[in-house]
Structure 1
């Protein structure tokens, strides 16, 4: 898992631009537009470095830095102040408040990268511990959409198998949808109670020893941790603490974990998505759904997810001449669509009927190639 940088800045454009640049350099980005939320994220996420603006409406950057330095849990977190205030007195106050470096906006990307790397290197204890964590933890890949019925579960299933095929590494597929799970039926997995067993435990209980009993090996080579399809099990959607415990453990068990999170920003998704290293956002080529998806992405950015974490996937489920084209969809979405799936209703039906994922069917298909392309994109 990459080192994490928390950006606290009330300027949305700065958050997006700097966040994308840093994610391209391999960092995991968290973001906040308010000081209060930024402090909460610092105390909860323990970032490897904080990039901090001074002029934040609710709490000044100086006060945020002092608060971080007086908290034993965050007192050693490196802080770089990144602000338009350029007077000597401003710099002195920032450094006295606890900043490790002070950069004046606008700064060239090379200067910003150099300062970040320099500050991280000067924090050997944190860098060393982060390196250990990175060696032990795998990548979390969330699959979400603005509404249901788009094909998230089919995509998550085939993607997990192809990631395993291409990487040759341990891969887990799970669906955080108690009472609505369909992956178990699609794969003909008999035991779909694994997730429920973990959710039944009391919050705070060490669940690490339970995973050998609940992870099921699939013939494709992946492991599964699946939700029940019994509607009565929907009661577990309120067990947010347990979901977060599971998310904390899964990256220790596999190089890659694909999470089918279903639609919308449910309480589960609101808690889990910030933990994901990559977020696949599925949409269909209809004006209403693309508008919904654009709003979903905006909400995710406001909640602190860096823009560079997103991979947008356009899924055509039906052949129709009245759907939007790829170019029209991009224009309405106001962002690039990274992968498109062409409609193959017959192939999808046969795959479900025979419990054989599309990527494993013997005949070659354009859809299988599209899953391979998507897996390559995720693994990059």
Structure 2
């Protein structure tokens, strides 16, 4: 059996949207990711999204029977998943500086003969060890995948643990796509009635998650809360508070892409900041940036122009040197230099007048030069 103390995700199909599958944390029952697959017949792409922010995290694309492609975002990278099995079922991919992983079929448990999958770290010539184990579902329990954290922490030179988690999930979702197609065909009205071994609807009914905006803007980032004029303040605030529950989470930003949503964005940012302080007594830094500041326009443009978009950053630490605030930084430098110049002028006005003094002259060494120096010195004093 899998260890209940380790990080595990349940694969629960949405009861509302047939093309969506939630990946739910078994420890708290909250969805962490959700999977969407393309509805077009000629497109076999699978996409993985963050459940709270709905930010795209990566995709899985079928190329051939020997090659699949995994594309990760933030940062962007492409991973080749290749069929490397000769006599057995095996798929291998490389992640970060030559770290190789291999998916292999295995039998999990003694009471069930359903074949699951295990992802191994390839350590030739040393023995391989598993990093993730997939357990297929049954008539009473949904499928699940468990990450062996104690083995993942042993991997040398691994810097992007979250990216590895998403790559493992995307490859696994690609393997189980045929199984999902089979279940959807059984659930269709034209198919025969389901047998006793067919998957039942899970007792957990995930809430329907809708995008905060209805117009087609760019896809939000993982730490972005995209709002519109009709966005619900409480829902967006809960998403922001859930992000700050992670002690390693640094900052988020509330993005208002149009002037109509500015007022709503300010309400959401203030609500997140105040509620977070009440719960944790931690004060968050707050930065307000619009598109005019980012462009770094002149002071006349700053006075006469109206912004078209607004971003409000909430951070655990100062972001003065990280934010794209060219306009703000330049205006700060201009005001600082102006203030410094005015202070210097005031100091010069208050200072008493200074008399010019001649630097001291050293007497010459030779006797002839000494006589000349005495004559010149006397003339200088008289003058």
For normalisation by structure 2, the TM-score amounts to: 0.27
Structure with larger RCO (C-alpha < 8 A, sep 6+):
1
Relative to total residues, which structure has the larger strand share, 1 or 2?
Answer: 2
Relative to total residues, which structure has the larger helix share, 1 or 2?
Answer: 1
For normalisation by structure 1, the TM-score amounts to: 0.28
